Structure 1
Amino acid sequence: MFVQVVRGVVRDPELTFARLDLWLQQLAPGTRGWLGTTAGVTRNHELISFVRFASAADARHSSDRVEQAQWWAESATVFAGDVSFDNYDGVTLFGDGGSEDAALVEVLVGRVPRRRGAEVTSQLVERVSALSPRVIGGLVGLHDNGDFTQAVYFCHAEDEPLDAGTLLDASPRGTQLRALRLEHLWFGSPTGAVRRCPGPQTPRGTGLQLRDLAPADDDVSASAVLALQRAAYRLEAELIGDDRIPALHEDLEDLRAAGLTWRGAFEQGALVGAVAWTETSTELELHRLVVDPSALHRGIGRTLVEAALRRAGQRRTVVATGRANLPAQQLYAGLGFVHRMDVEVRPGLWVSELVRPGSAGDHRRLT
């Protein structure tokens, strides 16, 4: 197995993972020999990513693709400084290897005397493996000069951090060893992506921060919104049994050209929801309401719609949602929207148009 380790400080873990989501959707299907990726961010926003390939040749083939170069050029903006790339051939797996079931990943990086590299890394693997059943498994890569990187996959986020100083009986002179704890995690594989975030979930939208977004002008923001939008509409497509939702199939160009005003909901710096609209002097029309599927049932959607209604003020507000999307129908009804009509936008695909009158005089428009 060949592994490329990417390291650098990022501005926002969620925006970083949005770029990885985009890679998974657009580039992964054509990437030869890609086995999977584990990416994580420390409390100090240092990203460490393990990109696994069947061979070094497959990794070079991926790097040489025009699409890969374009994706990287756009993704580099998420980093706050320099980015390092470290390539390991002949990587060793231990235990069950890497697993997306892990709640925590710790990384050991360091250097040992070149002649004792295999001996020392074997001892590290033995010591870490002895922590089973806490440890699922992991991988270790070693260079001829003694530089190494080891990833350890833990079952529980509450596990005690590794103590680098106690993992070796007697450190050979010149040994350097550092342990890094990855808390925000992204696991990608040919079958999909899984995210893990630290800490308990915040109930009912408490602690949300609402901020304006500008995907038309900001590539990082656009990538984050697009990934969130696709995840949300994939879930709606499953709910209504129809994947012909136009927004589900938008790309970055479509998103930027839509001409919408966006507001995002953030928790601990992570984008978990967004709402978008257009407006005139008499009307505000909601075009998007998207919530991260992992953050549902916490009041985030309602909080975002309420923010849009405050923007609308005395003007009427209109929205269209899937006729079979009962959770959305109930949300809007609870905020004062009333049913206007059902429209078959495509053969067999029905949406309900809902209106929230802005003043008493607007009631006549509902018939």
Structure 2
Amino acid sequence: MFAQFIAAKVSDRAAYTEHMRHWHQEQSERADGWLMGIGGVTAEGKSVMMVLFESEEQARRNSDRPEQSDWWRALLTCLEGTPEVIDSAVVDRFGSGDLMQAGFVQFMRGQVQDQGRARQLSQQMNDDFMPMRPDIIGSVCVWYPGGFVEAVCFTSEAEARRGESQPVPEGFTELWGQMEAQTTNLNYYDLTAPVLMSREHSPA
């Protein structure tokens, strides 16, 4: 799997959402290897979007399509400044639920001291902890040099808040502490109206 993470400040929220709908309607069938898109705009106007492809080669071919270039230029008109784009082939998918059914998505982004160790801890935590949180449908974590970004998909914001207010389960405290020691500059981006796209699911 290959991921493209795009972050920017949105100047026109309605236009941004419409551009996403237009891409799904007009471009998704032409994007060979495209799997899904998870993202949206925070209350503060920050857009975050994770786009997944089967391979890097297919993602590059999509970026090179003239229609994709035209769409990208149109998208830039509703953004402030130059978007940040991160490409990575180091992608972990956790959980077996349908991410397109999420009612709330939280992006987490941070820096890590030892990516190999942090990834190992992340995999262990998600494998062991996720079954204890029925509010979590699943997540996708993208690793890039020095950092990571993870999109966690929840059934609803209310359920997510209830879940996060619970104490860390017994036996996870040490593991949790090890992960916290690996992570710095952690930021959260809450999407109460997520933009979710796949072959079978069009954005609301």
* TM-score, reference length from structure 2: 0.84
Aligned counterparts of 1:149 and 1:140: Cα–Cα separation in 2? 6
Alignment of 1:192-203 (within 5 A): 192-195=201-204
Aligned to 2:122: 121
Are positions 1:50 and 2:50 aligned together?
yes
CA contact (8 A) 1:98 1:138 kept: no
Change (3 A) 1:79 1:127: farther
Aligned to 2:74: 74
Are positions 1:178 and 2:179 aligned together?
no
Aligned to 2:157: 157
Change (3 A) 1:24 1:194: closer
Alignment of 1:1-367 (within 5 A): 1-96=1-96, 99-114=99-114, 115-126=116-127, 129-143=130-144, 145-158=145-158, 159-160=160-161, 168-170=176-178, 171-172=180-181, 175-195=184-204
SS in 2 for 1:193: coil
Render the CA deviation track for 1:49-85: whole Å, top value 9, x for unaligned.
Answer: 1111010000000001111111111110111223111
CA contact (8 A) 2:103 2:154 kept: yes
SS in 2 for 1:194: coil
Aligned counterparts of 1:43 and 1:78: Cα–Cα separation in 2? 16
Aligned-pair CA distance for 1:194? 3.1
CA contact (8 A) 2:9 2:45 kept: yes
CA contact (8 A) 1:9 1:79 kept: yes
Tell me which of the two structures has the higher relative contact order, counting C-alpha pairs closer than 8 angstroms and 6 or more residues apart: 2
CA contact (8 A) 2:20 2:203 kept: no
Aligned counterparts of 2:104 and 2:129: Cα–Cα separation in 1? 14
Q: Identity of paired residues, percent?
A: 26
Aligned-pair CA distance for 1:97? 5.4
Aligned counterparts of 1:174 and 1:26: Cα–Cα separation in 2? 40
Aligned counterparts of 2:99 and 2:186: Cα–Cα separation in 1? 24
Aligned-pair CA distance for 1:91? 1.2
Aligned-pair CA distance for 1:173? 6.0
| Equivalent AA in structure 2 for residue 118 of structure 1 | R
* TM-score, reference length from structure 1: 0.48
Consecutive unaligned residues of structure 1, counting only runs of 5 or more, are 196-367
CA contact (8 A) 2:32 2:62 kept: yes
CA contact (8 A) 1:96 1:138 kept: no
User: Aligned Cα RMSD in Å?
Assistant: 2.3
CA contact (8 A) 1:98 1:153 kept: no
Change (3 A) 1:130 1:175: farther
Aligned-pair CA distance for 1:14? 2.2
Render the CA deviation track for 1:139-178: whole Å, top value 9, x for unaligned.
Answer: 11112x3311111110112121858xx8931432663322
Aligned-pair CA distance for 1:22? 1.1
| Equivalent AA in structure 1 for residue 119 of structure 2 | A
Aligned counterparts of 1:190 and 1:184: Cα–Cα separation in 2? 20
